[in-house]
Structure 1
Amino acid sequence: MTTFVEIQGENLAVEIYEPKVRIADVVLVHGFTGSKEDFEVIGPLLADMGYRVLTFDNRGQHESAHSKREDAYSMHSLARDVIELSKHYGFVKPHLLGHSFGGLVAQRALVQSPETWRSLTIFCSGPHWIPDKPDLDATIHILQTMTMEESWYKYKDETDKLLPRYETYKKRWTASDPNSTHTMALHLKDTQALTAEIVATKIPVHVIYGENDDAWPLAMQDQMAKDLSAPRTIIKDAGHCPNEDQPEETVKVLTNFWSGL
Structure 2
Amino acid sequence: MSRPDTFVPPPGARAYALRTARGEFAVVDAPVAEGVEAKGVVLLLPGFTGSKEDFNALHVPLAGRGYRTVAVDGRGQFESDGPDADESAYTQGELAADVLAQAAALGEPVHLLGHSFGGQVARAAVLRDRTPFRSLTLMSSGPARISDAQRERVRLLRDTLAVLTMAQVWDAMREMDAPEQTGTPAPGDAPGVQEDMRRRWMGTKPAQLLAAGRQLATEPDRVAELAAVPLPFHVVSGASDDTWPVPLLDDMAKRLGARRTVIAGTGHSPNTERPLETADALAGFWDAVGEARS
* Superposition TM-score, scaled by structure 1 size: 0.93
The match for 2:159 is 141
Is the counterpart of residue 162 in structure 1 residue 187 in structure 2? yes
Q: Contact 2:166 / 2:206 at 8 angstroms: preserved in 1?
A: yes
- For residues 175-224 of structure 1, what are the alpha-carbon distances to aligned partners after superposition, in whole Å with 9 as ceiling and x for unaligned? 11111111101111112222122111121111110002221111211111
Identify the match of residue 241 of structure 1 among 253, 269, 278. 269
The match for 1:187 is 215
- Equivalent residue letter for 1:187: Q
Identify the match of residue 106 of structure 1 among 119, 122, 128. 122
Cα RMSD of the aligned pairs, angstroms, is 1.8
Identify the match of residue 239 of structure 2 among 211, 233, 252. 211
Structure 1 counterpart SS, 2:112: strand
Structure 1 counterpart SS, 2:224: helix
Identify the match of residue 80 of structure 2 among 64, 89, 93. 64
- For residues 216-250 of structure 1, what are the alpha-carbon distances to aligned partners after superposition, in whole Å with 9 as ceiling and x for unaligned? 11121111111111121111011111111111100
Identify the match of residue 258 of structure 2 among 226, 230, 235. 230
What is the CA–CA distance in structure 1 between the aligned matches of 2:222 and 2:281, rounded to whole Å? 24
The match for 2:26 is 13
- Equivalent residue letter for 2:99: V
Structure 2 counterpart SS, 1:52: strand
The match for 2:147 is 131
- Equivalent residue letter for 2:80: S
Percent identity, aligned pairs only, is: 35
The match for 2:94 is 77
Unmatched 5+ stretches in structure 1 = none
When residues 108 and 125 of structure 1 are mapped into structure 2, their CA distance, relative to the original with a 3 A threshold, is same
The match for 1:97 is 113
What is the CA–CA distance in structure 2 between the aligned matches of 1:8 and 1:143, rounded to whole Å? 31
Tell me which moved more, 30-39 or 128-137.
Answer: 128-137
Q: Contact 2:87 / 2:207 at 8 angstroms: preserved in 1?
A: no
Identify the match of residue 4 of structure 1 among 3, 17, 20. 17
Structure 2 counterpart SS, 1:86: helix
Q: Contact 1:80 / 1:109 at 8 angstroms: preserved in 2?
A: yes
What is the CA–CA distance in structure 1 between the aligned matches of 2:203 and 2:143, rounded to whole Å? 29
- Equivalent residue letter for 1:2: A
Aligned length: 260
Tell me which moved more, 68-77 or 32-41.
Answer: 68-77
